[in-house]
A and B are shown apart, each in its own frame.
Chain A
């Protein structure tokens, strides 16, 4: 990693007035259709003669497939056709594996081949004239399962006698890596205390977007082209996975999305089902429609990484200064590696969390188990790690009798240290964490904490306050994948936009992204309108994503907190190009030089003489329909395509060192809980969230993301968990048992913000949206604070439903045994 020279970042605190649309709460272009129910989600699209797919799924967590007999299903009236694993194994090659060996040897197909490895895994598909018929016929598919012993817990996956999920890999430990930076020995020698934590556990859950996955797939026999109308949120990745598996070029896979009902990362790994639909569409010569139902989604799609942090040792000074830590992270990937093992490195974007410790070692082990495959979930892999660092700092403060506010401030990376290079070469671009903490504490009324506690006590409740700070690292350097597998040929990142000025003066923008509520049409239009000096109403941003627009590149999609940087970077780049061309053309027409031209009020006009002006329509008309007589060397098309590429280097694979993400938004949350000591039931009674995502193009949009991430984190902290029994059955397959927050569950919310512009992006923006799970960190800390008078239990799990709090109340000693403090 070479040195970065940057100018002082601009910190904007007050509501500074900027001219133009940036920074304003512009009404959303998306809203008009969405509030009228005129959005187009994949299931809204119909094709004549389409068949409906129903996947036959395994009831066993682990079983050999001795035979799959579809003959009775095929006889059922209304059934059009079927697909089995045997066919799939002939027609397709296994999906590309990101992992190095042994994970690399896994053979993953779009239907189970030879074995089923999790409850709910698709083993066959039936297509019929109606949804109900497909469902009926699925019951007629006869599968001869031979149940096998089940690996239902990541820790037992490593036992000598553990059943092996993938024979080709030969082990359940599909990936491991050791990360070490700094000088651990020196750090532990310098420490006054060593705080040891035997085990912390981050639980398995996901964001349950309200719309589940699905697709409508059509096959054009004449051209060999598939059109996949779907809600996959990372078509760049899906195409790279699907093309080679299907033995076709990527251009044969046209992805079309318009509106997507939430993604949060959980719509990245639908490519197996999409391949099955593609094969069926081709085989049956009919459009084929697949709707994933809620239970299917819970059983089989995109669980978040479950991760244990074992044998953690923290080197601490007496005054609470953290010097370093070592830990072993055991990660449960579920039955297949579909985006994994990238989770094994992505956490390293935030290796030290928000803290200045320099000496860190993390042993990462990832195992496969007979559970739903894991794939990115909002905060992907960083959230788990940030929760870990927050637990550590909270436990250290707790055990050393130090003020958790002071300990954080002592250890936070400081604003004047930004840009800050972490021990592993990531560069935190800007931020002022201490200021955010102060703001959050003020919002929550921190000064009144003691009296609130006393008041709660009178009502028989235990009140606690907890801080959760987190980072939202955005814009990946995909070169980090080489830390997982040095053979991989991925690095950097990109996103595409086109902007054109049409014959009647329409400004048309296309994006490569796949928004699921992040207001891309609106924020892109704000940027375009500001550059071109026109009204935002004159900027038409096409809704959604379509491969045919040729407005995408290898990494196109909407994931990993990057639109404000990559998407808007592409929009800015394309619009700057267009603006330059418009000025060039206007200069020719008006007889001056391009520097004399400004774009304002929907016109290209001479700065010195605004009366000499051309409306945009005139420029568009000239290039498109009236271009005789223009200078031969005039390089103007008014149709500009720009590929944004963030400034990354491939990381140093040996040292595992390098900048892995471009921007670091931050959030600091404070939660206040009241616990009923008689029952363990608790309520979040007050909440504050402060965010910093650099320059905010649309503050309301940003705030909406903060709120949404907060609500999801609160759900995850209190009730949401994908729990399995020892036979590999999911105990929370629907919204009865997997309780997500409803309206009455919401606490009062106070929000605040600061803006620390990023020095590394074209507009000072930072990607945000994932939110890093701050709510989980805050609730854990608040519970630990609340339960202090009851034997001082340690909160060691990210999810604390009532029964967990009850256990902490009933037996605080048990949790305390996880922590020891050794003097040096």
Chain B
């Protein structure tokens, strides 16, 4: 097996296949934002604390600033851009709007991915479970209370 400083990777994002040359040091968040023009996922810190970059990788919620692009060759990724239907927002997205669970919107994509991952695994989460699921997503605008309400409302 090779030791490489860069590699051509193939990755599926929101159902679309992409092929790109990436340096080994490239973070997944920068692949998404800069190389694939999927700018919905955001960067809010440089130590993997804020969760604004959260995406679902092979079915698992991760912080894409804490994964190397080279590691997702052959993987399948879901980002915020894939949540809405053709015509309509997803129930979760709609609930966020209904409950004023976003103000500046910068943390929102990450929050939505974390909430999506939660509800897939646990369709009727308790208040504590909701807060625990969002522990890796920092928001500075809302104080989180409305986000809890929105997820509650969107859950079964």
Interface centre among A208, A261, A746, by most chain B C-beta atoms within 10 angstroms, is A261
Interface string of B87-107 (1 = CB under 8 A from A): 001000100111010111111
Mostly helix, strand, loop or mixed at chain A's interface?
Answer: loop
A549 at interface, CB cutoff 8 A: no
A705 to B23, CA, bound (A): 42
A132 at interface, CB cutoff 8 A: yes
> Known contacts being A36-B81, A44-B39, A746-B131, is A294 close to B144, with CB within 8 Å?
no
Which residues on B sit within 8 Å (CB–CB) of A639? none
Partner of B47, one of A37, A294, A710, A740: A294
A734 touching B141, Cβ below 8 Å: no
Which residues on B sit within 8 Å (CB–CB) of A212? 44
B106 touching A704, Cβ below 8 Å: no
Q: Which residue of chain B has the shortest Cβ distance to A25 in the bound complex? A: B100
A752-799 residues with Cβ-Cβ distance < 8 A to B are none
A176 to B130, CA, bound (A): 50
Which residues on A sit within 8 Å (CB–CB) of B33? 43-44
The minimal Cβ–Cβ distance linking B21 to chain A, given in whole angstroms, is 13
Interface string of A35-46 (1 = CB under 8 A from B): 111111101101
B98 touching A27, Cβ below 8 Å: yes
Partner of B105, one of A259, A291, A700, A746: A259
A674 at interface, CB cutoff 8 A: no
Interface string of A7-34 (1 = CB under 8 A from B): 0000000000000000001011011111
A221 at interface, CB cutoff 8 A: no
Partner of A34, one of B45, B46, B108: B108
B77 at interface, CB cutoff 8 A: no
A712 touching B140, Cβ below 8 Å: yes
> Known contacts being A262-B106, A743-B137, is A211 close to B132, with CB within 8 Å?
no
Which residues on B sit within 8 Å (CB–CB) of A700? 100
A30 to B108, CA, bound (A): 12
Which residues on A sit within 8 Å (CB–CB) of B28? none
B17 at interface, CB cutoff 8 A: no
B68-85 residues with Cβ-Cβ distance < 8 A to A are 79-81, 83-84
Which residues on B sit within 8 Å (CB–CB) of A39? 105-106
B46 touching A209, Cβ below 8 Å: no
Which residues on A sit within 8 Å (CB–CB) of B97? 27-28, 31-32, 35
A749 to B143, CA, bound (A): 10
A260 at interface, CB cutoff 8 A: yes
Interface centre among A701, A703, A707, by most chain B C-beta atoms within 10 angstroms, is A707
> Known contacts being A707-B146, A735-B50, is A37 close to B41, with CB within 8 Å?
yes
A504 at interface, CB cutoff 8 A: no
A210 touching B44, Cβ below 8 Å: yes
A516 at interface, CB cutoff 8 A: yes
Partner of B132, one of A28, A209, A519, A744: A744
A209 to B47, CA, bound (A): 15
B81 touching A37, Cβ below 8 Å: yes
A43 to B103, CA, bound (A): 18
Partner of B104, one of A27, A210, A735: A210
> Known contacts being A36-B89, A261-B106, A743-B144, is A210 close to B139, with CB within 8 Å?
yes
Q: Which residue of chain A has the shortest Cβ distance to B97 in the bound complex? A: A31
B142 at interface, CB cutoff 8 A: yes
Given contacts A35-B108, A735-B49, 17 further A-B contacts (CB under 8 A): A28-B97, A31-B102, A37-B38, A41-B106, A208-B140, A209-B140, A210-B104, A517-B103, A517-B104, A703-B100, A704-B146, A710-B143, A736-B47, A742-B135, A742-B138, A743-B135, A744-B131
19 contacts between A and B (CB under 8 A): A35-B83, A37-B38, A37-B80, A37-B81, A46-B37, A131-B30, A262-B104, A262-B106, A294-B47, A701-B100, A704-B142, A707-B146, A708-B103, A741-B144, A742-B134, A742-B135, A743-B130, A743-B133, A744-B132
Leading 10 A-B pairs by shortest Cβ distance: A37-B40, A261-B106, A34-B105, A711-B143, A517-B104, A517-B103, A735-B49, A37-B80, A44-B39, A31-B97
The residues of A with any CB-CB pair to B shorter than 8 Å are: 25, 27-28, 30-41, 43-44, 46, 131-132, 207-212, 259-262, 264, 291, 293-295, 516-519, 700-701, 703-705, 707-708, 710-712, 734-736, 740-744, 746, 749
